[in-house]
Amino acid sequence: MKVDRLVSIIMILLDKERIGAQELADMFEVSPRTIYRDIDAINMAGIPVHSTSGVGGGFEIMERYKIDRKVFSTDDLSALLMGLSSLSGVMRGDELVHALAKVKSFIPAERAKDIELKTNQICIDLSPWMGNRNLQSCVDLIKTALSEKRRLTFAYIAHHGNKTARTVEPYQLVLKNSHWYLHGYCQERNDFRLFRLSRISDLRMQVETFTPRDCQKPNLDFAEILETIQTKIKIRIHKSVMDRVLDFCSYEDFSPDDDEHYIVSFPFIENEYHYNILFSFGDKCECLEPLHIRSEMKRRIRQIAAVYES
């Protein structure tokens, strides 16, 4: 549920005597069902919205009701500003600027300092420390394609470096773990797929539009799947890489080995990604158990050494 859309609907209802669900849906490019959910949320927030059915019907704020700036508490306004400010760091657009301005208009002068203090207590910065910073142009183009229901074509680098040409109907932009993804229907695979933006090149928007099909949101929670395929291996690490190892497990998985080393119960899946994680710790990490993973590490080390000997 988009906070900026809720605020905008409240402003529209204050400005208009009555407006229909379909008109609001067209205005915000969502389904009427989404508008009905938004109206329910506004009602739950304490703003009485009345609905009238039939010709000329629609939504309106109940007669003689005037919205009070105090309808939003200090915590409410701080949370709204915090969320909108974090989004503005990774997504540009007038809609965010307007939403921020509207939310700020609800702040009474006597509470401004307290709300600013609460808003600044948590900083959410989703931009990367380093890496590909040219993704914003891709995000902007995909946002336009989403709004106008236009197909996208691009080259995509899949697993093992395979480069393929794709034509995709865009349905959603996803920000997961600081990485942008495009969720869309791939015409080459005849199915919905997630595409990581950093692996996309030569992104182009087609002129013709498409008719949206029924779309289910992608599964972004792999906790249950990981429990079934992930195992714990025993590694010995030097304390100098402890901070990096903690990105993958908790402190409870560590036990001291001597003054300089720790034995760690490390979550592991036997694939390229996890072997590369172990190699990223260099000579400060040794796999102790199980034996077959230790042997595989030795085999890969010999392969790496052979590259530099030839």
Show Cβ contacts of residue 242 under 8 Å, excluding neighbours closer than 6 positions.
254, 262
Q: What is the pLDDT of residues 31-69, one digit of tens each?
A: 888 888 888 888 887 778 888 887 778 888 776 665 555
Give the pLDDT score at 11: 74
H or E stretch at 73: none
CA separation for the pair 188, 151 (Å, rounded): 13
CB 229 within 8 A of CB 220: no
**pLDDT score recorded for residue 195:** 94
By the 8 A CB rule, do 233 and 285 touch? no
Same domain, 282 and 300: yes
**Phi–psi pair at 30, nearest 5 degrees:** -130, 180
Residue 241 lies in a domain: yes
Please tell me the distance from the alpha carbon of residue 289 to that of residue 310, in angstroms, as a whole number: 31
- Rg (the chain; Cα; Å): 26
Out of 209, 240, 264, pick the residue that ends a domain: 209
Q: Residue 276: what pLDDT?
A: 95
The residues near 77 (Cβ < 8 Å, ≥ 6 apart) are 103, 106, 107, 111, 115
Asked if 184 and 259 sit in the same domain, the reply is no
- The per-residue pLDDT for 90 is 58
How many residues are given for the chain?
310
Number of domains in the chain: 4
User: Which of 184, 161, 183, 165 shows the shortest CA–CA distance to 174?
Assistant: 183
Domain that holds residue 78: 74-119
State which residues of the chain have pLDDT below 50.
1
Whether 188 and 241 map to the same domain: the answer is: no
Enter the DSSP assignment of 62: P
Scored b (16 or more CB within 10 A) or e, 12-22 reads ebeeeeebbbe
Residue 128 lies in a domain: no
pLDDT at position 111:
73
Per-residue pLDDT at 1: 47
Bridge partners (DSSP) of residue 180 are 175
Total-model pTM? 0.59
pLDDT at 69: 53
Residues 95 and 165 placed together within one structural domain of the fold: no
Structural domain contains residue 127: no
Q: What is the pLDDT of residue 22?
A: 87
Distance CA 99, CA 7 (A): 7
Query: What local confidence, expressed as pLDDT, does residue 96 receive?
Result: 64
pLDDT at position 15: 65
Q: Is residue 219 part of a domain?
A: no
